[in-house]
Structure 1
Amino acid sequence: MKLSEGVEAAIHSTAMLAAIEHGATMPASALAEAFGLSPSYLLKHLQALTAARILESVPGPTGGYRLARVPEKISLLDIVLAVDGARPAFRCGEIRRNGPAKIDASAYVQPCGINAAMLRAERAYRTALAAEKLSDIIAEFMADADPRVVQTACAFAVNHARPQKTAQNRNQ
């Protein structure tokens, strides 16, 4: 099963946004820079994540993106469906009916066994993705990654985060 490259970008971006202070935002350009991606390419996926209510988009010169839910409530399936859509990866075209000997459609009352097997695999795959939470991925990264990678990623997040504007900040 092949997922689009946008899924990887979306998962990394949501993980980066989980590292910033609650309520703070990060501009799409910073997220794109963090992963060496084209800003316009990443923006398309950030917009899909926003439409799926995984992210929030905050407008304005100090706006950007932030998580709309806590990482414990975001599954990899949520992200995959937001970016790649809900359609199954395998779509049966009923090619079994296309051979040189045309048989009446009544011979095909049973569902295609290949389609049934592929749909079972898809359900298992989606169940596994639904069980994988963003918070678990982040915890594994923090525990297992080279400390230099962790330090670099955390420093990037801190340096590019835009603090949440409070009423007190706006009045000053």
Structure 2
Amino acid sequence: MKYSKATNYALHIMGYLAVTSPNQRISVQQLAEQQRISPSYLSKILTRLVKARMIESSPGANGGYKLTPDWENISFLDVIHAIEGSASLFDGCLNGNPDCLIQKVMMSAEEKMEEELRQQKISDLVKESAQFYKLKDGGL
């Protein structure tokens, strides 16, 4: 199972915004440089995150992107759905049997994975990064 590069970038962008500047606007150019991707490709990802109401955009010289006020409630699954959609990863049984045992196993596994991703919040990255930097700088 593999998510698209866009999802990977979206998760990293959300994490970057949360850790570095949750309340400040960052330009597309700054984000593109930080992620090492083209601004035009990044703009498509950011547009999806804006439509999903995870980030806000402001045009103009001092514009840019920032997290929405309730960003602490955004889960990894929310970001994945904003980019990939919410269709099932498994495409059902070959014969259309509603009692397909293989589909039951696959759907159960997908539900468990989604629950784990639903519980993991973008805000958890901020807590973990703070601990990482404290340890790295000679703290605990």
The reply to whether TM is greater than 0.5 is yes
Percent identity of equivalent pairs: 34
Who is 1:28 aligned against?
28
Q: CA RMSD in A?
A: 2.0
Contact 1:71–1:133 (Cα < 8 Å) also in 2: no
For 2:22 and 2:113, how far apart are their aligned partners in 1? 32
Who is 2:85 aligned against?
85
SS in 2 for 1:95: coil
For 2:82 and 2:39, how far apart are their aligned partners in 1? 18
Q: Map 1:4-153 to 2 at 5 A.
A: 4-18=4-18, 19-20=20-21, 22=23, 24-92=24-92, 94-96=93-95, 108=97, 110-144=98-132, 147=136
Q: Which moved more, 1:136-145 or 1:35-44?
A: 136-145
SS in 2 for 1:56: strand
Do the aligned partners of residues 42 and 118 (structure 1) sit closer, same or farther apart at CA in structure 2, a change above 3 Å counting?
same
Per-residue CA deviation, residues 60-100 of structure 1 (Å, 9 max, x unaligned), is 221111101344211101101001111011112x4247xxx
For 2:99 and 2:38, how far apart are their aligned partners in 1? 44
Letter of the 1:133 partner, please give it. K
Letter of the 2:112 partner, please give it. A
Unaligned runs of 5+ in 1: 98-107, 149-172
For 2:25 and 2:11, how far apart are their aligned partners in 1? 17
Per the TM alignment, residue 147 of structure 1 is displaced from its structure 2 partner at its CA by: 4.3
Contact 2:22–2:67 (Cα < 8 Å) also in 1: no
Alignment length (residue pairs): 135
For 1:83 and 1:69, how far apart are their aligned partners in 2? 20
For 2:136 and 2:90, how far apart are their aligned partners in 1? 40
User: What TM-score do the two structures reach when normalised by structure 1?
Assistant: 0.71
Per the TM alignment, residue 141 of structure 1 is displaced from its structure 2 partner at its CA by: 2.1
Who is 1:162 aligned against?
none
Per the TM alignment, residue 51 of structure 1 is displaced from its structure 2 partner at its CA by: 0.5
Contact 2:49–2:82 (Cα < 8 Å) also in 1: yes
For 2:6 and 2:116, how far apart are their aligned partners in 1? 20
